[in-house]
Amino acid sequence: MSELRKDPITGRWVIISTERGRRPSDFGIEKARAKGGFCPFCSGNEDKTPPEILAYRQEGSKPNGPGWRLRVVANKFPVLRVEGDLNKEGVGLYDRMAGIGAHEVIIESPDHEDTLSTLPPKHFEEVLWAYRERMLDLRKDFRLRYGMIFKNHGETAGATLEHSHSQLIALPVIPHLVMEEMSGSRDYYHYKERCIFCDIVHQEIHEGERVVLENQEFLAITPFASFSPFECWILPKRHDCSFEESQASMIQPLAAIFSEALKRLERALNWPPYNFILHTAPFAERKLEYYHWHFEIIPKLTRVAGFEWGSGFFVNPTPPEQAAKFLREMEGF
């Protein structure tokens, strides 16, 4: 089992994986584990993963066999488990609870050679549909407060398997950075009576210099205070706080801009490792005026020194205006 512990000073929650309990000699073996000829995510190896929770498959094909285009399965090495009670308790001044939650893997394609950015448009849309469907299902569990969807692409971005996949972790607490975004944007709303993300969308469209791509519904920008070079956000232009509750008609234009942004980042940066994370409202929130869902894509280009994640203070060597200009001017491929 794992447990969730709260830093009493900053209020951040950490998952402590007591089950794995890695000893000193266990570190440094990751590289070896990541390679190898066999892939449990490839078509034909369905019995090597936990049973599918959701799949988009050919009519007539059977669950947990070939014929699928996309599968969602439980993570075989989950950081949290669905079974059990939260058992919240205090230990002196500390707080902890059981590691309850869901940890799922979205296998984006049966083909080992596919990457998210090379999927045909309809297939990319299905990935987004799967995110949405799983979020809508998991939010029914009253113990869970937040659904975090993310992708680690490439070994240095944290991917332990090469086959293209994303992950969903549903948590019984709200992640720190989401809390920060919520409270920052709430403060702004109280002061201005406007959503700060909507104001950002307006200012960026007006100024133009940090815009990477735009379509009828979405804007892709390199944010003003990008903490990482070539960081890229995709935001709906109209106010909306919850990804999974957004209109079905948003999926097609989202897939289009997302795919194009990834293609440009990959070409510009020579197919870098990258991460993306969905930022959306907590499960319990409905129709928030001040919060605005978006995806953040972070190419992994610089080595994050410990002082940066230990201080929260980042140095970004590429001004976002330069990054946006570069990505904007990549045409015709």
Residues annotated as catalytic (active site), given as ranges: 165
Quick one: which segment of 57-65, 131-139, 242-250, 296-304 binds its own copies (CB under 8 A)? 296-304
- Asked if 87 touches its own copies (CB under 8 A), the answer is no
Footprint on residues 15-74 left by its own copies (CB under 8 A): 15-18, 20-24, 26-28, 30
DSSP string, 190-228: HHHSS-HHHHHHHHHHHH-TTEEEE-SSEEEE--TT-SS
> How many residues of this chain bind its own copies (CB under 8 A)?
92
Interface residue with its own copies, options 184, 205, 208, 287 (CB under 8 A): 184
Distance CA(102)–CA(144), nearest Å, equals 9
**Which listed residue (56, 129, 189, 224) binds its own copies by CB under 8 A?**
224
Burial readout 20-45 (b: 16 or more C-beta within 10 A, e: otherwise): eeeeeeeeeeeeeeeeeeeeebbbee
* Minimum distance from residue 162 beta carbon to its own copies (Å): 15
CA angle 122, 70, 239 (to 5 degrees): 55
How far apart are CB 12 and its own copies at their closest, in Å?
Answer: 6
- Maximum Cα–Cα distance across the chain: 62
Least separation in angstroms between CB 20 and its own copies: 5
> Residues 197, 218, 283, 293: which binds its own copies (CB under 8 A)?
197
Determine the Cα–Cα distance for residues 18 and 3; give it in Å rounded to an integer. Answer: 7
Stretch that binds its own copies, among 82-90, 114-122, 250-258, 295-303 (CB under 8 A): 295-303
Site residues for its own copies, 261-280, by CB under 8 A, read: 268-270, 272, 274-277
By CB under 8 A, is residue 90 in contact with its own copies?
no
Question: Minimum distance from CB of 237 to its own copies (Å)?
Answer: 17
Mind giving me the DSSP string for 289-304? Answer: SS---EEEEEE--S--
Q: Which of 158, 161, 252, 271 binds its own copies (CB under 8 A)?
A: 158
Q: How far is the CB of 113 from its own copies (least distance, A)?
A: 23
Select 11 or 51, whichever has its Cβ closest to its own copies: 11
The least distance separating its own copies from the CB of residue 252, rounded to whole angstroms, comes to: 26
Half-sphere exposure of 190 (CA within 13 A, CB side): 6
| 284 part of the interface to its own copies, by CB under 8 A | no
- By beta-carbon proximity to its own copies, the closer residue of 87 and 203 is 203
Q: Which of 148, 332, 314 is nearest to 231 (CA)?
A: 314
Distances (CA, A) of 124 to 158, 160, 189, 253: 22, 22, 34, 11
Contact 177, 110 (CB under 8 A): no
- Is 304 an interacting residue with respect to its own copies (CB under 8 A)? yes
The answer to whether residue 101 forms part of the interface with its own copies (CB under 8 A) is: no
Which residue among 12, 57, 81, 239 contacts its own copies (CB under 8 A)? 12
- Does position 89 interact with its own copies (CB under 8 A)? The reply is no
C-alpha closest to that of 15 among 91, 76, 100: 100
Q: What is the DSSP string of 87-124?
A: --EEETTEEEEE-B-EEEEEE--S-TT--GGGS-HHHH
